[in-house]
Structure 1
Amino acid sequence: MINEIKEELRNAALYLTKEHLQLFVKAIDFAEEAHSGQRRETGEPYIIHPYTVCKILLDYKADATTLISALLHDVAEDTHFSIKDIEKRFGHKAAEIVDGLTKLEKGLLEKGKYSASNFEKLLTASASDIRVAIVKIADRLHNMRTLDVKKVEKQVPYANETLVFFSPMAERLGLFKMQKELDELSFKYLNPTKYKGVRQLLDNYSVIFADLFEFSMSKIKVSAMQELQLNFDWVDTPIYKAYSFLQGGYSLSDLYTVEVIADSPLHCYSALGIIHGLFQPVENQFQDQIAIKKSPFQRHLTTKVYINNIEVKFEIKTESVKQTQQYGVFSFLNRECRDEELRKLSSELLRDTIPSVKSVSNDPIEFYELISFELLQRDITVFTPKMDAVFLPEGASALDLAFNLNPQLARKMSGVRINGELKSLSTLVKDMDIVEVMLESWDMVNENWLNHAHTSKARKEILELLS
């Protein structure tokens, strides 16, 4: 069996250069040697696990360093080989990634602090090289696939951790296929009864939505025939995220999206005009994420229209954006990147959140709580009166917005107008709000502001002003 898997890995990696393929094959053999005699709780040879993690990443056409790191991700932690041994054989980048994935010595740390400390180490390493987080997500996915061998009392917290941390992180890195499977597996373990109910609800609505999709596609195709060449698809929301949306008052129709794929950004706007000409638009539901770059994986136009009295969401994007969504972060990692390129990419995807959080807290548990808020919450878009876009985590306040915009002006703020209405500094801003910051000519900072500043950037600036 192992030899068959090794051959499968080699064949799947033929897109690599000759030099990288040779190093990859060497890593396959070295990983087998390192884990020789070890077995998983499933009873199978341990080497099956790193091989499967590598196979998951091969589906994304991952670069050689990522693949080698996946094969070796447990070597330093679980075998007699060290990080230096890995560096000697496979280079410093693979060694650094494996080091970022290797857990700390537990020592006398209590469970919660130990877990938080390992997350801090993982994310700190990911801030320099995003491939650390990528391999960890793939590792978690295979562990979720085999979670049934663990006792129930271990399954539930493990599944919950997956939903809280790994699924949102996969989404942030554009690894949507992984996110969907993580959601599916975790929810099933976390609450089997609710999972079955939501699964049935979504399966039933999928039949209705498929009809709406076919109807809208045929109408648009007829109207666009003379002007545009369009392709169509539809997607649904990962199940646990869908469940959370339903709990928050969203409707079933909010969980499904028609994708309209054009051959250029200009034709995306033309397609939007056709859709709005055919169907009545829903008020205040248009977003232009082509002009306003919110995420490298979400460069599209979004709108909602009424079809047969049902609100239907559309995303209009180019073929290249659709491809980027298919491969996620690997759209930017399809070759060996230089260190500076990796840091820039990691910073863009993680929004400089990790160094910002570390600047206000040395406590691993507080670090984890702040990161969970800033990095793993849904992003919202808030506008200034001049329609400059500001991206914040859901749950951010007007104070957070002001310090994100301009710390020197934020210190003088006395209030805000949100969509034209006077509001306090503690008011939580919402997606698509227009916020005007009102200023005095003197500093207004006081200790109470810390109770309403939720982002690390705002807290850091306030603490410095109060010191």
Structure 2
Amino acid sequence: MHDVVEDSDYTLEDIENMFNPNIARLIDGLTKISGVVSIESSMQLENYRKMLLTISDDVRVILIKLADRLHNMRTMQAMPAHKQLKIASETLFIYAPLAHRLGLFRIKTELEDISLKYTEPEMFEDLSNKMEELVNKDFEYFNKFTRTISEELKKAGLEFEFKKRTKSIFSIRRKMRNQHISFEEVYDKYAIRIILDSKLANEKSDCWKAYSVITENYNPNPSRLRDWISSPKSNGYESLHSTVMGPEGHWIEVQIRTKRMDDIAENGFAAHWKYKEDSSGSNQLDSWLRRIREFLDNPDNDSEDFIDNFKMNLFSSEIFVFTPRGEMVTLPKGATALDFAFDVHSEVGAHCLGTKVNGKLVPLSSPLKSGDQIEVLTSMKQEPKEDWLSFVKTGKAKQRIRQSLKKEKQLITGQGQMTLERKLKVLKLKATHSNIQKLVNFFGLKNPDELFYKVGLGVIDNKKLREYARETAGLVNYFKRRIVKSTYAKQKPLSKEATKDLMLVFGTDEHEMEYTLAKCCNPVPGDRVFGFVTTAEGLKVHRDDCPNAVLLQSRFANRTLKAKWIDKKGSFATINLLIEGMDRIGLVNDVTKVISSELSLNIKAISFAVDDGLFTGQVTIEVSDKVALTDTITNINQLEGISTVSRVGKFG
């Protein structure tokens, strides 16, 4: 029914009327996901964020979507190979980890195995065959192990059943790749699972009783004991794991759990509804969903931050630490003492001055381990520091630190702007946009906000501002002396005859100086321009949009001059035009007619080339001002077959 709204004329209102609001809400959530995740387009980071918004609204939407994805994976044999690979990769990246995080072990395992079938088909086939041989071969070994402990478990008054769990093909492949080992070197290919039929009140004691029976008969490996009964995983998983030396000297993993625990382990969140009042694991899962919602709702987080944090929560192992009151806190493996402080409360983390772990003072960056008891020392004078971001691990801590640093920077920037305006006034300079931009260039900064921030911090102080003021005051005089003394000019300035009606003035006092036009951008009268003093060729005039303008004005701001046209008559500049379009008979003649006959301009060079019916033309002309140039481009553009006419720099 989840495809009805998309594939028919029925609306959500129709669904609500025919069924109920809850069903309509689920369908709406699935429709939103379908709009984000489709077989036709790869899932992008922002799309993951939108999809995961549905989790904390109603986790059943994701449960249905996971079931839908599993059905798609089972039935995509006929798809093209590239689509199979794309869908399998998406599944491994987001759907399988989601199933794991929600405790849906069977779905997660099948999604991973089918994905491996399409991402590494030869490896999948090889491992499948080897596992099939192994299962048949070790059947007697399994029976021998269970016979030994079966009678002892019965004597202990326990009701139970044995299950043999075979490690998934994907898990074996991952272990081989991560540990660089062969198939034969993977020792935990299967495990013995002991499922106890216990009352809720006796679950923990019965599990430990069974553990005692097993370890009395087989020697355990102490380093391989995993107690998820006392501290369930955040996806609700509860079990007691141990590795023992079995018959014939082989290590074998034993998993002990009750029927209730096994149901939750296999079916995850879907099984919590049956045990809601009794399950401590569901509280852990609810807490995780709340953290996801908090992170999603924060507008300051970009998509990459979100995915990094979300994947960490999906894939990371967990540690269990304690507050001074003995309350347990679950954190990702690798979390620091400062992460703990932020997990307790955002304000506790923000004002964290130090931490005590097991009664000893430790740095805020100290990684925690399971069993640690942490006390947070705070001070209202303490504020988040930028270097904290280099060692915190959790999304909550990073989010809160960035928010605080952003607010602090905004405050300092505002104060810096007011301070700069006061200081410029003392130096008899106006805080105009132009002057502010000159200051930005002078100090080699990116934008005015960075300037205000550095003034607010005191990095740019009175001494540096006075240096700028002195250089600004003496700038024009310096350029005048530099140009007069320059005897190295390689480019002859425009003659008096050519410039009798043309005047450019420079600086705030509008001084007239000798100059040459830069060939990199070929300015013409009417263009927005600026002057730049070269080391050997005197004053060069560049267009404001010259390709070199940004470099010159940012790196050599003290050698640039404001320039202004006073008169726009009597001089000619050489301009290059690039003309493109569809070829036809008489096209070149029409172009030259517009330039020479209609506009009376001089053509200095012309060349046209044709390729498969499309032409590219290059024309060099002389124009007196920007108006003439604009008219030329407009008139040529109106010719039949012309697609573009643009002004460019040098050809070739």
TM-score (norm 2): 0.52
Per the alignment, residue 447 of structure 1 pairs with 386
Per the alignment, residue 320 of structure 2 pairs with 382
Verify: 1:218 aligned to 2:147, yes or no. Answer: yes
Q: Is the 8 A contact 1:288 1:301 kept in 2?
A: yes
Q: Is the 8 A contact 1:357 1:370 kept in 2?
A: no
Aligned partners of 1:111, 1:435: CA distance in 2, in Å? 48
Per the alignment, residue 309 of structure 2 pairs with 370
Q: 1:90 to 1:329 in 2, by over 3 A?
A: same
Aligned partners of 1:186, 1:158: CA distance in 2, in Å? 8
Q: 1:275 to 1:134 in 2, by over 3 A?
A: same
- Deviation (angstroms), 1:86: 1.4
Give SS of 1:290's match.
coil
Give SS of 2:393's match.
coil
Q: Which amino acid aligns with 2:233?
A: K
Aligned partners of 1:425, 1:202: CA distance in 2, in Å? 47
Rg larger in structure? 2
Give SS of 1:225's match.
helix
Per the alignment, residue 246 of structure 1 pairs with 176
Aligned partners of 2:308, 2:383: CA distance in 1, in Å? 28
Q: Is the 8 A contact 2:84 2:118 kept in 1?
A: yes
Aligned partners of 1:261, 1:344: CA distance in 2, in Å? 24
Give SS of 1:284's match.
helix
Verify: 1:332 aligned to 2:332, yes or no. Answer: no
Equivalences for 1:282-301 in 2 at 5 Å?
Answer: 282-295=221-234, 297-301=236-240
Aligned partners of 2:251, 2:373: CA distance in 1, in Å? 28
Q: Is the 8 A contact 2:162 2:194 kept in 1?
A: yes
- Deviation (angstroms), 1:188: 0.6
Q: Is the 8 A contact 1:379 1:391 kept in 2?
A: no
Verify: 1:237 aligned to 2:171, yes or no. Answer: no
Q: Which amino acid aligns with 1:383?
A: V
Per the alignment, residue 158 of structure 1 pairs with 87
Q: Which amino acid aligns with 1:310?
A: H
Aligned partners of 1:217, 1:324: CA distance in 2, in Å? 24
Q: Is the 8 A contact 2:237 2:264 kept in 1?
A: no
Equivalences for 1:59-458 in 2 at 5 Å?
Answer: 72-103=1-32, 115-207=44-136, 210-228=139-157, 229-249=159-179, 252-264=186-198, 265=203, 266-295=205-234, 297-307=236-246, 308-333=248-273, 347-348=286-287, 350=289, 352-359=291-298, 361-374=300-313, 376-384=314-322, 389-394=328-333, 396-405=335-344, 407=346, 410=349, 411-412=351-352, 425-426=364-365, 432=370, 434=372, 443=382, 445-458=384-397
Deviations, residues 49-105 of structure 1 (Å, cap 9, x unaligned): xxxxxxxxxxxxxxxxxxxxxxx2122223222222212212111111111111476
Worse-superposed segment, 392-401 or 455-464 = 392-401
TM-score (norm 1): 0.70
Q: Is the 8 A contact 1:404 1:457 kept in 2?
A: yes
Worse-superposed segment, 298-307 or 236-245 = 236-245
Deviations, residues 5-47 of structure 1 (Å, cap 9, x unaligned): xxxxxxxxxxxxxxxxxxxxxxxxxxxxxxxxxxxxxxxxxxx
Structure with the higher helix share, 1 or 2? 1
Aligned partners of 1:359, 1:382: CA distance in 2, in Å? 27
Q: 1:238 to 1:272 in 2, by over 3 A?
A: same
Give SS of 2:231's match.
coil
Aligned partners of 1:74, 1:122: CA distance in 2, in Å? 17
Aligned partners of 2:215, 2:328: CA distance in 1, in Å? 24
Per the alignment, residue 66 of structure 1 pairs with none
Q: Is the 8 A contact 1:101 1:122 kept in 2?
A: no
Aligned partners of 1:196, 1:406: CA distance in 2, in Å? 50
% identical equivalent positions: 27
Q: 1:364 to 1:82 in 2, by over 3 A?
A: farther
Q: Number of aligned pairs?
A: 383
Per the alignment, residue 44 of structure 1 pairs with none
Aligned partners of 2:327, 2:225: CA distance in 1, in Å? 16
- Deviation (angstroms), 1:212: 4.3
Q: 1:399 to 1:158 in 2, by over 3 A?
A: farther
Q: Which runs of 5+ in 2 are unaligned?
A: 277-281, 408-652
Aligned partners of 1:195, 1:424: CA distance in 2, in Å? 47
- Deviation (angstroms), 1:394: 4.6
- Deviation (angstroms), 1:260: 1.2
Q: Is the 8 A contact 1:426 1:452 kept in 2?
A: yes
- Deviation (angstroms), 1:360: 5.9
Give SS of 2:187's match.
helix
Q: 1:203 to 1:358 in 2, by over 3 A?
A: farther
Aligned partners of 1:154, 1:450: CA distance in 2, in Å? 39
Give SS of 1:382's match.
strand
Q: Which runs of 5+ in 1 are unaligned?
A: 1-71, 338-342
Aligned partners of 1:435, 1:298: CA distance in 2, in Å? 23
Structure with the higher strand share, 1 or 2? 2
Q: Which amino acid aligns with 2:309?
A: L
Q: 1:138 to 1:381 in 2, by over 3 A?
A: same
Greater relative contact order: 1 or 2 (C-alpha under 8 angstroms, separation 6 or more)? Answer: 1
- Deviation (angstroms), 1:348: 4.7
Per the alignment, residue 22 of structure 1 pairs with none
Aligned partners of 1:198, 1:400: CA distance in 2, in Å? 41
- Deviation (angstroms), 1:420: 11
Q: Is the 8 A contact 2:235 2:285 kept in 1?
A: no
Worse-superposed segment, 439-448 or 141-150 = 439-448
Give SS of 1:316's match.
strand
Aligned partners of 2:239, 2:190: CA distance in 1, in Å? 16
- Deviation (angstroms), 1:461: 2.6
Deviations, residues 139-180 of structure 1 (Å, cap 9, x unaligned): 111111122222222221210110121112222223222222
RMSD of aligned residue pairs (Cα, Å): 3.6
Q: Is the 8 A contact 2:192 2:253 kept in 1?
A: yes
Q: Which amino acid aligns with 2:194?
A: V
Give SS of 1:390's match.
strand
Deviations, residues 370-399 of structure 1 (Å, cap 9, x unaligned): 32222x214322334977643233554554
